[in-house]
Amino acid sequence: MLKRLSLGIVSVAIVGAVGFGVYAYKPALDPISPDSLEAFDPAIVDQGRVLASAGYCATCHTAEGGAPYAGNYAMATGFGTIYSTNLTPDVETGIGAYSRDAFRRAMHEGVDREGNHLFPAFPYDHFTKMSDADVDAIYAFIMTEIAPVATEQKPNELPFPLDQRFLQAGWKLLFADLGRYEPDADHSDAWNRGAYLAEGVTHCGACHTPRNALGAEDASQHYAGAEIDRWIAPALTSQNPSAVAWTAPEFKAYLIDGVTQYHGVAAGPMGPVVHEGVRELAEDDLDALAVYLADKVGATEDDPASSEAVLASLQANRPDPRYRRDLGERLYATACASCHYNVDQIAQGRPDLGINSSTNLDTPNNLIHVILDGVNGPEGIAGVVMPGFREALSDAEITAIAAYLRDQRAGKPEWPDLAGTVADIRVNGPAAH
């Protein structure tokens, strides 16, 4: 009896392994030659340019100092470092031999032309929601407008067996909901367009959704907020910690200008998302994204200017003729207040740190990053730079300023181990900034 049971278990295991092998197997697709590439409508190519920007293709496929789209951008994961691939139309090391169908399969199914499963650091679980027409437009843009560059691909730094690509088929089976976006009849056309963009090409959830132990987005906590590169991507739900409620116009302003009147600036990983990405979308698409995100966060029609948090912060920011007794307040007055100063109303371009998102988050990471390294280049407000105070302020002084803002201006409970977080980000944060 025991022998029969053992044989049965072995048989089931063999059948299961064979079945998984059949499921995991993907055939190679025939290569194309550059001289056989079709001519593309210039309007389609430009559409692809906009979509590639909105999907941050260049951001993730360009190494520091490297040629655009040529790959080897290092992506640190909880399992090791993955290096992005060459997305230029180089035949040998890029996607120059990819047909339209091969490119679609990579975007929609996470499988390369040779039949290898792609690691989910490439967000095909979002791109799968894109239409064939939009994917084809990106293909047309890359194949005609991006210069081919030969690149020696850096090997991924993943331990065995996580480096085995066929196992990614199992990950997909567990976590990837492959298939095109299906409109929700209970919502408007604008909402559905925004959902298509947010869940597909712009893949907002990839940063704003926490992940499980196997690196997949936790569907039960969609947009609940997550840590990325030691920055905090805030929740885009009713749990968003902002002192002032988001509105659709605030979201639109943020996506276009990288700043809002009541929430602060796009810095850290969010900087390129705005300044090198979504702002390229047509205004109707930006409106749709704002409608969708406002619905997800539970936005109201209330005027932010009349909120209690804004009025209280304006009052707290008024000059006090008395001697400032708190070290953090004194440092803030000398190092910060000349720019972050509002009295009668919140002025565009002068983020009010009492209501700023960074002072209202559950962790001080974003605030500390900005104090240390400022807001520069493709971040924040175009043409406006905030200096970093890495060399000017000690850890103790930065801790004092952050504690003052959290307590006296935001009116929130103190951050645990604030000093330790400042010290950690000073040492370990710059590489991720």
Percent of the chain scoring above 90 in pLDDT? 65
For residue 38, name the pLDDT band (cuts at 50, 70, 90): confident
Query: Which has more pLDDT, 268 or 290?
Result: 290
Taking residues 403-432, what's their average pLDDT? 88
Helical H segments across 298-340, by residue range: 308-316, 327-335
Contacts of 20 (CB under 8 A, 6+ apart): 169, 170
Please name every residue paired with 231 in a beta bridge, in sequence order, or none if there are none.
228
In this prediction the pTM is 0.86
Q: Is the pLDDT of residue 282 over 70?
A: yes
Binned at pLDDT 50, 70 and 90, residue 11 comes out as: very low
Residue 214 CB partners (closer than 8 Å, separation 6+): 171, 174, 175
pLDDT at 351: 81
Residue 237 has pLDDT above 90, yes or no: yes
Confidence category of residue 416, pLDDT binned at 50, 70, 90: very high
Would you tell me the crossing angle of helices 418-428 and 395-404 to the nearest 10 degrees? 130
Q: Lowest-pLDDT range, 16-25, 78-87, 234-243, 338-347?
A: 16-25
Cis peptide before 413 (omega within 30 of 0): no
pLDDT value of residue 21: 67
For residue 223, what pLDDT band results from cuts at 50, 70 and 90?
very high
Q: Any idea which residue has 């997909």 for tokens?
A: 172
pLDDT at 173: 93
> How many Å apart are CA 246 and CA 147, to the nearest integer?
41
pLDDT at 316 over 60: yes
Look at residue 2 in the predicted model and tell me its pLDDT. Answer: 52
| DSSP symbol at 323 | -
**Domain 304-432: CATH superfamily, name plus number:** Cytochrome c-like domain (1.10.760.10)
Q: Write down the pLDDT at residue 249.
A: 92
Q: What is the mean pLDDT of the chain?
A: 89
8-state DSSP, 111: B
Confidence of residue 18 (pLDDT cuts 50, 70, 90): low
Question: Domain 189-297: which topology?
Answer: Cytochrome Bc1 Complex; Chain D, domain 2 (1.10.760)
Q: Which of 180-194, 288-302, 324-338, 371-385 has the highest mean pLDDT?
A: 180-194
For residue 301 the two structure tokens come to: 């029609």
Over the stretch 195-217, which tens digit does the pLDDT of each residue have? 999 999 999 999 999 999 999 99
Query: How high is the pLDDT of residue 185?
Result: 97
The predicted-structure confidence for 99-128, as pLDDT tens digits, reads as follows 999 999 999 999 999 999 999 999 999 999
Picking from 393, 401, 431, the residue whose alpha carbon sits closest to that of residue 418 is 401
Looking at residues 137-159, what average pLDDT do you find?
96
Pair of tokens at residue 48:
């692809």
Query: Which residues of the chain are in CATH 1.10.760.10 domains?
Result: 304-432
- Per-residue pLDDT band for 263 (boundaries 50, 70, 90) equals confident
Between CA 406 and CA 341 the distance in angstroms is 17
pLDDT for the residue numbered 432: 40
Please report which residue ranges of 318-390 form alpha helices under DSSP H: 327-335, 357-360, 365-373
Mean pLDDT of 49-73: 95
% of the chain exceeding 70 in pLDDT: 90
- What pLDDT is attached to residue 40? 95
